[in-house]
Amino acid sequence: MADQSIPQARTPEATRGAPDGSGPLDTGGATAHEGISRRRLLGTAGATGLVLGAAGGAAGYAAAPSSAATPLTSLGSERVMFHGKHQPGITTPMQACGHLVAFDLAAGAGRKEAAALLRRWSDTARRLMAGEPAGTRDTSVARDAGPSSLTVTFGFGHSFFGRTGLEEQRPVALDPLPDFSSDHLDKSRSNGDLWVQIGADDALVAFHALRAIQQDAGSAARVRWQMNGFNRSPGATAHPMTARNLMGQVDGTRNPKPADTDFEQRVFVPEKSEQAGKNEQAWMANGSYAVVRRIRMLLDDWETLSVKAQEDVIGRRKSDGAPLSGGIETTEMDLEKTDKAGNLVIPINAHARITRPDQNGGAAMVRRPFSYHDGFDADGVPDAGLLFICWQADPLRGFVPVQRKLDRGDALSRFIRHEASGLFAVPGGAAQGEYVGQRLLEG
């Protein structure tokens, strides 16, 4: 898990200057050597985002809102376009909040009902991603917020094609994943006819989208399972950096990047592919395949290890993500380097060694996960881990060979458990005036 995850980060709000670019945000005229009166504190707390400590908490809570209009912060104003070559939420920078939800079509619902549903969903997603109300039934949950980098992404599961009479259009790449030795899968929380990924940098905006999508399903589909996740918020670190997971590890150093010359061919289905002879993937042009896994981290066991032992499991330093062979985070691993005793510096079963593309025939995927925490078991063990989501042009050449190799001897496998799984075909983006999946459902 440690070596492939979207590393993009936004410029932190903490380093932003005043609106005119002259320097730090104004604090109401007080210099570092002047006291701030209670009245001035109350007047500026809302405008500057000043966080009050315990002594000032009551005062801050009671402060009346300023009469002056406050513009959206960069967090709220970020907008992702719905229409495009690819669906949003694949190369979009990681968001702070996420919801994953799978639906099954209702009994008796078929291709016609699925098309109407995707039309409704696409219209709702377009509106919400622009920061507009969902429609006449909008709940006003996100009324005061901007788009907040909201993305809504739609995919089709293996069972969708049988339910809609489109078996001949089912891609070979959507064949069920093989069984893996690390699997402890809950079938009720796996797969599904339809899959929706929602991400945003504001929790209310994300929930608003989730509720709107669920309401739009109406009588056509019912929720099969739903999972909630989170990441570090943009601006929470002093400078942009690769994310950390709940094990405290820098997670995502070697993820393919859109600037890579082979990024498109690794991640997205080409308009003309080797498998297009039967036209089975024609409707998937510019789309991608998402593997979704709920991976529980056995944190109580992990946290008993020393930092050195944790680093040996991963193959990277915990402090900065640099390989144990030396350098900085982006330094290439020296897989042959040994210590004075002749032992490999990066252990043979280290997670970062096993997941390297050059150790897996070039297999690569874009990992874009969310962390999750669903409370504690009766014995106090945290139910927490990773909502693993990876994107590739073909899972049989991306996820599957890497997971098979991890099954055979990954040091990290002792500390994780795969509890749910799904594979979904995510078609290309919708053009203006189209809905997602139209080429499949009306082709």
CA distance 305 to 307: 6
User: What interhelical angle do 111-129 and 203-217 show, nearest 10?
Assistant: 160
Which pTM value belongs to this model? 0.84
pLDDT of the chain along its 443 residues, tens only? Answer: 656 544 454 544 433 333 333 343 333 344 444 443 433 333 333 333 333 334 333 333 344 444 555 566 678 999 999 999 999 999 999 999 999 999 999 999 999 999 999 999 999 999 999 999 998 889 999 999 999 999 999 999 999 999 999 999 999 999 999 999 989 999 999 999 999 999 999 999 999 999 999 999 999 999 999 999 999 998 888 888 899 999 999 998 889 999 999 999 999 999 875 544 444 589 999 999 999 999 999 999 999 999 999 999 999 999 999 999 999 999 999 999 999 999 999 999 999 999 987 877 788 899 999 999 999 999 999 999 999 999 999 999 999 999 999 999 999 999 999 999 999 999 999 999 999 999 999 98
Q: What is the pLDDT of residue 405?
A: 93
Domain that holds residue 337: 73-138+146-233+243-277+284-440
User: Which of 3, 251, 312, 410 is flagged as catalytic?
Assistant: 251
Which residue bears the tokens 């944190």?
299
Q: What is the pLDDT of residue 135?
A: 86
Is residue 31 included in any domain, yes or no?
Answer: no
- Active site includes 377? no
Is residue 44 included in any domain, yes or no?
Answer: no
Is residue 108 included in any domain, yes or no?
Answer: yes
Domain count, the chain: 1
Task: State the Cα angle at 323 between 322 and 325, rounded to 5°.
Answer: 130
Is residue 19 included in any domain, yes or no?
Answer: no
Q: What is the pLDDT of residue 46?
A: 37
Is residue 62 included in any domain, yes or no?
Answer: no
Residue 127 tokens read as 């509106």
Which residue bears the tokens 């079938």?
187
391 backbone dihedrals φ, ψ, rounded to 5°: -120, 135
Q: How many Cβ atoms sit within 10 Å of the Cβ of residue 34?
A: 11
- Asked whether 117 and 198 are in contact (CB, 8 A), the reply is no
Is residue 344 included in any domain, yes or no?
Answer: yes
Q: Which residues contact 363 (CB under 8 A, 6 or more apart)?
A: 357, 397, 398, 399, 401, 402
CA distance 374 to 225: 14
Is residue 43 included in any domain, yes or no?
Answer: no
Is residue 41 included in any domain, yes or no?
Answer: no
Task: Look up residue 413 and give its amino acid.
Answer: S
CA distance 308 to 48: 42
Of 429, 7, 3, nearest in space to 259 by CA = 7
What sign does the dihedral 42-45-46-48 (CA atoms) show? positive
Distances from the Cα of 386 to the Cαs of 181, 235, 272, 415, 427, in angstroms? 18, 22, 34, 12, 24
